[in-house]
Amino acid sequence: MHRALLTVLLIALLPALAAAGKTIYRADQAPGTAEQVEAGKQAFVVCGGCHGAAGAGVQGLAPRLNSPNWLATVSNAYLATTIREGRSGSNMVPWDRGLGEETVDNVVSYIRSWQTLEGIKLDESPLTGDVQTGAALFRDICAACHGVRGAGYAAGVDGIGIGRRGYLSVATNGMIREMVRNGKDKTPMESFTKGSAVIIDDLTAADVDSIIAHLRAQAW
Ligand code: HEC
Ligand code: HEC
């Protein structure tokens, strides 16, 4: 074939080739192979009693793992570390010894296979805002569902233990910002910055940062 014609053809084909390889996963959200997903599905049986067979979660017992924007937010490392180390002070026990590293990775692949949204680029810019303001906002808005000290279910509430070190040591500011600004899809955790008829919805980006600064200052 004529060289020039070949080049023209290739250039015309490039967008189609790029689209075929397009993925919804962020670099730190690599999906597993079909085998890993299947093995993870088998292993997930031990998780389903609390998190629901397909990760739908059970209010006040275990959080939703198939929430669309939450899955698009969390990295594989966040999932693997949480599963391996658990969340001290909650019913989420460490699974590293019980399952072994390979099985933990398979379970991560299975959870990742539920992802439907494109990975969200998180705002990991330095925190602004101040601890005092954040403490007041947390007390007035968040404590009702997460506990006065952020203990979560242990305090008899429906939200998870976002005041504990077990959560704060793995959750980045960008992840927490995404959840508070936009809510956690398909859960009672609504957006606190966007229009809603039923909840306080006018927190500024600085307010959200103040709450995170408060959580980090009081982590226990
Ligand atoms: C006895 C109940 C129980 C079992 C069994 C259980 N979990 Fe959990 N899991 C929890 C609770 C409770 C939390 C939330 C803890 C907190 O307050 O931070 C949690 C949190 C998590 C989180 C973090 C979710 C988030 O929103 O950040 C992941 C991921 C997770 N579990 C995965 C698993 C996997 C995978 C298994 C099986 C290997 C499993 N869990 C087994 C109760 C359970
Ligand atoms: C109406 C009750 C309610 C209020 C008020 C509330 N939350 Fe939540 N929040 C929840 C529930 C329930 C979940 C867990 C959803 C689930 O089961 O997966 C959650 C989840 C979260 C998560 C995500 C944790 C994860 O990884 O799953 C963050 C972060 C969070 N809340 C922060 C806050 C902050 C900060 C405030 C105050 C501005 C707040 N929440 C107010 C109910 C609430």
User: 179: Cβ below 6 Å to ligand 2?
Assistant: yes
User: 142: Cβ below 6 Å to ligand 2?
Assistant: yes
DSSP 110-127: HHHTT--SPPP----PPP
Cβ-contact 168, 162 below 8 angstroms: yes
Ranges for all domains in the chain classified under CATH 1.10.760.10: 27-112, 131-218
Joined tokens for residue 106: 């398979």
CATH superfamily of 131-218: Cytochrome c-like domain (1.10.760.10)
Three-state DSSP state, 62: strand
Which amino acid is present at 183? G
User: 189: Cβ below 6 Å to ligand 2?
Assistant: yes
| pLDDT, tens only, 14-34 | 555 455 557 999 999 999 999
Query: Ligand 1 pocket: which residues have CB below 6 Å?
Result: 46-47, 49-51, 62-63, 65, 79, 82-83, 87, 90-92, 95, 107, 152-153, 160-161, 167
What residue's CA is closest to ligand 2, atom 38?
142
Cβ-contact 118, 24 below 8 angstroms: yes
What residue's CA is closest to ligand 1, atom 41?
47
Q: What is the pLDDT of residue 202?
A: 86
Q: What is the pTM of this model?
A: 0.92
| pLDDT, tens only, 133-168 | 999 999 999 999 999 999 999 999 999 999 999 999
Q: Residue 176: which of 204, 213, 151, 140 has the closest Cα?
A: 213
Q: In CATH, what class is 27-112?
A: mainly alpha
Cβ-contact 129, 208 below 8 angstroms: yes
Joined tokens for residue 122: 């998180």
Lowest mean pLDDT among 54-68, 123-137, 147-161, 184-198: 184-198
Pocket test for ligand 1, best of 36, 42, 46, 51 (most atoms within 8 A of CB): 51
Instruction: Using the predicted structure, report yes or no on whether residue 200 has a pLDDT greater than 70.
Output: no
| pLDDT, tens only, 79-108 | 999 999 999 999 999 999 999 999 999 999
User: 170: Cβ below 6 Å to ligand 2?
Assistant: no
Distance of alpha carbon 6 from alpha carbon 9, whole angstroms: 5
Instruction: Using the predicted structure, report yes or no on whether residue 4 has a pLDDT greater than 70.
Output: no
Atom of ligand 2 nearest to the CA of 176: 29
